[in-house]
Amino acid sequence: MPIQLRYKDKIQSAENVFSYSFSVESGELFSLLVINDRTEQVCVVKKNNFVVNSDVTDAHIECTVKDEYLLSLKGNVSGLESKIAIRIGDKWIEVTEDGEFDYQVINGIEYEVTINESSESQTCTGNLTRFTAAQSSQLQITCQDVNATNP
């Protein structure tokens, strides 16, 4: 998400970084502007005018996904004896028992799935390691005893 700094006649954009190549004089006013090129979200600068007296540490940008772009990823875990942590994109969810779970994803966005077992006696695998969110996205996770033999 590009973030733009505006100061006097200068405008500079940076991608996800609050570091710029020109300085702002102490006591001067500057502003931040989010350049949002993603249609599925809305981003606002909660405080966008700053007077510089020292390092600016209270800039706050809040982004939310529009409801019409959210989907529910359906998941199912079977054979779980302990608990697992599932990373979907950059978020972690913990599952402590067999059964179904729902997780909100953004339609059309690609996600990577990672499963971390908390028990050395089980291994868990899923049907998805990478997927693009769509109405039919479904994650199936099966756990089994490490000592189980396959016929």
pLDDT at 97: 93
Class for domain 68-145, per CATH?
mainly beta
pLDDT at 56: 62
Q: How far apart are CA 96 and CA 77, in angstroms?
A: 9
Under DSSP, is residue 68 helix (H, G, I), strand (E, B) or coil? Answer: helix
What is the per-residue pLDDT across 46-99, written as a single tens digit (0 to 9) for each? 766 667 666 666 667 777 888 888 888 889 999 999 899 999 988 899 999 999
**What are the residues whose beta carbons fall under 8 Å from the beta carbon of 110, sequence distance 6 or more?**
130, 131, 132, 133
pLDDT at 55: 65
Q: What residue segments make up the domains of the chain, in order of their start?
A: 2-65, 68-145
